[in-house]
Amino acid sequence: MELSEVRCSSATEELYTINKTPSSSDNSSGSGGGSARPKRLLWQNAVRHITEQRFIHEQGGGGGVKDDPFDPIQGARKQSAGRTSVGDRHNNGGTKVFPERASSDLGFLQIDCAPSNSDFFLNWGYTYRGVIFPTLRNAFKSRDLERLYQRYFLGQRRKSVVVMNILDVVTKLTLLVLHLTLASSPMDPIKGMLLGFFTGIEVVICALVVVRKDTTSHSYLQYSGVVTWVAMATQILAAGLGYGLLGDGVGYVLFTLFATYSMLPLPLTWAILAGLFTSGLHILVQLLISESAQLFTNQVAAQAVLFMCMNTAGIFISYLSDRAQRQAFLETRRCIEARLRLETENQRQERLVLSVLPRFVVLEMINDMTNVEDEHLQHQFHRIYIHRYENVSILFADVKGFTNLSTTLSAQELVRMLNELFARFDRLAHEHHCLRIKILGDCYYCVSGLPEPRPDHAHCCVEMGLSMLKTIRFLTLAALTRNSINLLPNHLAQALHVHSGPEEINKRIESAIDLRSGDKLRREHIKPFSLMFKDSSLEEKYSQMRDEVFKSNLVCAFIVLIFITAIQSLLPSARMMTMVIQFSILIILHSCLVLVTTAEDYKCLPLVLRKACCWINETYTARNVIIFVSILINFLAAMINILWCDFDKPNTFKNQTYNESASIPDICFYPEYFVFTGVLAMVTCAVFLRLNSVLKLAVLLVMIAIYSLLTEAFYTSLFVRYDTVHHNTENFLGTKETSLLLMAMFLLAVFYHGQQLEYTARLDFLWRVQAKEEINEMKELREHNENMLRNILPSHVARHFLEKDRDNEELYSQSYDSVGVMFASIPGFADFYSQTEMNNQGVECLRLLNEIIADFDELLGEERFQDIEKIKTIGSTYMAVSGLSPEKQQCEDKWGHLCALADFAIALNESIQEINKHSFNNFELRIGMAHGSVVAGVIGAKKPQYDIWGKTVNLASRMDSTGVSGKIQVPEDTYLILKERGFAFEYRGEIYVKGISEQEGKIRTHFLLGRVQPNPLILQPRKITGQYSLAAVVLGLVQSLNRQKQKQILNENNNSGIMKGHHHYNRRTLLAAGGAEVGGGHHAEAPEKTDLS
């Protein structure tokens, strides 16, 4: 079994909805003139910017979902991708319109495929078997990112500087009060001056940090940290010179080291240098200057090991906490980037919708769907929007001789020519108040007088036609094929170019940092003191989050145990064998803890042990039990030797002298080292970064209580004897009292450090949950965009623009040698359509036509028709093509797609008969088919359209127009291919085909009767109805916008958003760009809407 098979995952992955204030980039649309400089097409911008900010490096490979080892919702590093069900998304207020797909056939990248954390860092550290070891190059590669993080980091440490200085000042004032109260002699003037001087410095630092809390630059905090450390190091020097307030100053050195690494806002390199200098300074002062006592070599070595242990623990604490904060900072950045991308997706989807439908229709659909419920979703798929206009003018413009021209030009030249021509026509339509309805091959179709009625609509159409004639004369075909000049207005090109670049992300990060520096989030989501989430479900999920640094914390605690053992071995007790046995047992026990918690990374270990390791790492209670056992082991190692001190035999120490000729010193002669190693055991609590701060406080209080009991009730004589021998009786506080004061300082420091770490971790968790939620929303929007593209372009065409980095001016064009083309018309519909009161002024006629076309579209959802692409509908005529996919051009059965097209034509006849039964009509289809070479391409700028051109298209159209109702007419060449593949035909004869018969004579044609051999794919199940529906896409857009609006309202009401951007997202940002169209207030009659249920 592989390692990933024993990785546990969290039991739940539901997301907690957090109030967020969505923001939006400014709407860049506006008036603007044309430009001769080539611009990227509007729709091409839309599809290309969907994957503009690619997260995956080329060497990362594939578009699959990468595991995010730091996903708090996953709980495991190898599983849990894509578990959110459709029903779960409904709980978040989102309607999942489309079915889940494992991968995108359009080549879309997954939203949450982000680069690994190591891609952002100069060095992400060394990890061995899940244990993270510190590195000094833990910095971001980007200078801007590092600058923002330093601001974030220093802002988090601002309070720590104040608290640490206040703690030091309070300690000094307490000593001063005790001295004035208990001391029999006045204080040494030098001590008094030093006390006042250092207290003043620390008070000034506190005042500076508090006063400048709102400043934009936090670099002064680093310098205040350096000044604080210098003040503390100077006090260590004073203690060495005999002017300290805490005995020989070893305890204060330990406190200084802990504060340097965990509370002062110093980079790790600075902290290490400061820690080493502090440790070396004290040892050097004691060796060279101190005359208060003679030091044994082992005692000096013990102090060195003591300081080395505190430095090591400090490095682990500083690095791991900084790593966690950097990781959280990246999560924050990803969250902000996800928000910007979500806003961009919303705007882009609106533009994609607007590229298909006129703005006033989209507005009506959005207003109609705003409050739609999930149970009414299916009714939206066949809803039809009809507007009736009394006076309009319609213009058709056909390019004469285009069919012959298409045979002489290359695909690229043909598409470039049409795109340039129709782009100019679009601009003319805008100038002459016309609305382009669609492009029919080489025919341009526009209307004047809608949506806003115009009394001069006929004049506008005439002017439009004259301008088109001038354009044709000015732009000769030769010039068109040589030059491609896109004259789109700048504001239109910019409208789709929504770019959420690094600068905008950095601005949002700065805003987020400012907000996180306050206490607003603490009051909203987190209980005071206990720091538990107010929401119980969120607290449960937080407790289930995998602790990625737990193994490293436990290894660090084990290292502390080794140091404690080394210190007490340098000052061994009289019972050497007992000490060896007890420390061996403790080390073995702690080694077992390390083994159990890291077993999942060793495949050679038994599966049961690895599963147990997995369970421990994933279970909050189990981790806490391991932590408490680890702390207990270190605590026992620190204090158990005191039990073997023979304090009932004072004669042993009578007239005892301490000189360098004596044997190895006994730790019972130096009871303060029990306290020092006890402090190391207290620091073990700080090593476990994710341990609840209240639990830390409880453990620390128990430790101090036990030490107080031992020193006050049982082993007081050890400290009294030490003070007597070392002449400490002159001080107003003995070693015992000083040690308790030192432990109290560490208790407060470790507890506050734990509070800060937990508070930061919980805020980070909120950010991660928010990022996960917004990424899920963005994935849903991305899916809507993908389906929107399916409504605009075939899948292989979309891939063409999404998968490759192409020039801005490059158009899509492709030549095909063997495709099938079909036209299916309803010749009786023109006679059926009438505008009378009985049929609601023609609305019922159009409703029936909409039902017919919708049923035809649904047939394309069947597996057997997957090779067929719908091109367009022209009134009551349906156009479809087969064989456009590059894969089908290279398959073994070259004409398999043509057989599918023939089956589709037969299925259309069956579908129309089924409709006749339910509507009591007698419609018949007249279908024409042909095959051959065509040119395909995408033309149009604001409203892209995929189309095909060529003699084959003209032939198929003539097969329809010259055909017979209820029959499928094909030319001779198509007949010969289909006859060999199981289809039956009836010979019709020779007919005249305009545009072809002039050169080739009459065309022999046949009627397709049906299949002689059954189609093996006919029993394939249908796909879900409406999955590619345009209405479904619009509905998804509306629901996403509604969620954004609701979140914005919540944030504005309670002023509680996690992040406030510089702009607020307006649901009508894009749709309102049309000015008068916003209100939908055209003067035509009220639109008719009907549900086809």
Kindly report, residue by residue over 286-319, the tens digit of the pLDDT. Answer: 888 755 445 678 888 999 999 999 999 999 999 9
> Which residues are CB-neighbours of 709 under 8 A, at least 6 positions away?
none
pLDDT tens per residue, range 743-778: 999 999 999 999 999 988 888 888 778 777 777 777
pLDDT per position as a tens digit, 516-570: 655 666 778 888 888 899 989 899 889 888 888 999 999 999 999 999 999 999 9
Which pair of tokens denotes residue 359?
């703005």
Whether the Cβ atoms of residue 223 and residue 271 lie closer than 8 Å to each other? no
Of residues 976 and 179, more confidently modeled: 976
Higher pLDDT residue, 517 or 211? 211
Q: CB under 8 Å to 402, separation ≥6 — which residues?
A: 441, 442, 949
Which tokens sit at 1081? 């207030």
Q: Ranked by mean pLDDT, which of 806-810, 976-980, 1010-1014 comes out on top?
A: 976-980
Helices vs. strands in the chain: H and E counts, helices first:
35, 15
Q: Is the pLDDT of residue 882 over 70?
A: yes
Measured on CA atoms in the order 137, 143, 145, 146, is the torsion positive or negative?
A: positive
1045 versus 744: the higher-pLDDT residue is 744
Give tens-digit pLDDT for 909-928: 999 988 888 877 888 899 99
Angle (CA) 321 325 329, round 5°: 170
Burial 1048-1068 (b: 16+ CB within 10 A, else e): bebbeeeebbbbbbeebbbbe
- Structure tokens, 902: 């023939």
Name the token pair of 38.
């080539």
971 within 8 A of 928, measured Cβ to Cβ: no
Distance from C-alpha of 622 to C-alpha of 613, rounded to nearest angstrom: 10
Per residue in 840-871, pLDDT (tens digit) is 666 777 878 888 888 888 888 888 888 898 88
Q: Cα separations (Å) of 995 from 400, 405, 953, 972? A: 11, 12, 11, 17
Burial of 309: CB neighbours in 10 Å, binned 0-12, 13-18, 19+: buried
Eight-state DSSP code of residue 466: H
Per-residue pLDDT tens digits for 979-992: 988 899 999 999 99
Return the pLDDT at 567. 94
Higher pLDDT: 1058 or 316? It is 316
Mean pLDDT across the chain, nearest whole number? 75
Q: Which residues, at least 6 apart from 275, have a Cβ–Cβ distance to it below 8 Å?
A: 257, 260, 261, 307, 310, 311, 314
- Is a pLDDT exceeding 80 seen at residue 320? yes
DSSP string for residues in 351-364: HHHHTTS-HHHHHH
Instruction: Give alpha helix (H) positions in 649-734.
Output: 672-687, 693-709, 716-725
Q: Are 256 and 263 in contact (CB under 8 A)?
A: no
Closest residue by Cα to residue 150 from 321, 272, 265, 263: 265
70: left (phi over 0), alpha (psi -120 to 50) or beta: alpha
DSSP 8-state secondary structure symbol assigned to residue 535: S
922-946: burial string, b at 16+ Cβ within 10 Å, e else: ebbbbbbbbbbebbbbbbbbbbbbb
Whole-number percent of the chain with pLDDT over 90: 27
Q: What is the pLDDT of residue 803?
A: 54
Comparison of pLDDT for 408 and 1027, the residue scoring more: 408
Distance CA 726, CA 1046 (A): 72
> For 612-648, how does the pLDDT look when each residue is reduced to its tens digit (9 = 90+)?
999 999 899 999 999 999 999 999 999 998 888 865 4
User: Which tokens sit at 139?
Assistant: 């910095």
In this structure, which amino acid lies at residue 491?
A: H
Are 930 and 970 a contacting pair, CB within 8 Å?
Answer: yes
Compute the Cα dihedral for 1017, 1022, 1023, 1027 and give only its sign: positive
| 645-664 pLDDT per residue, tens | 865 444 444 444 444 444 56
Distance, in Å, from the CA atom of 16 to the CA atom of 91, rounded to the nearest integer, reads 10
User: CB atoms < 10 A from the CB of 591, how many?
Assistant: 12
pTM over 0.85: no
- Name the residue with tokens 């220093």: 154
Which range (22-31, 451-460, 716-725, 735-744) has the least confidence? 22-31
Question: What's the CA gap between 696 and 630, in Å, rounded?
Answer: 13
Bridge partners of residue 416, in order along the sequence: none
Residue 1041 has a pLDDT of 65
**Confidence (pLDDT) at 483:** 36
Residue 248 has pLDDT above 70, yes or no: no
**Which has more confidence, 128 or 681?**
681
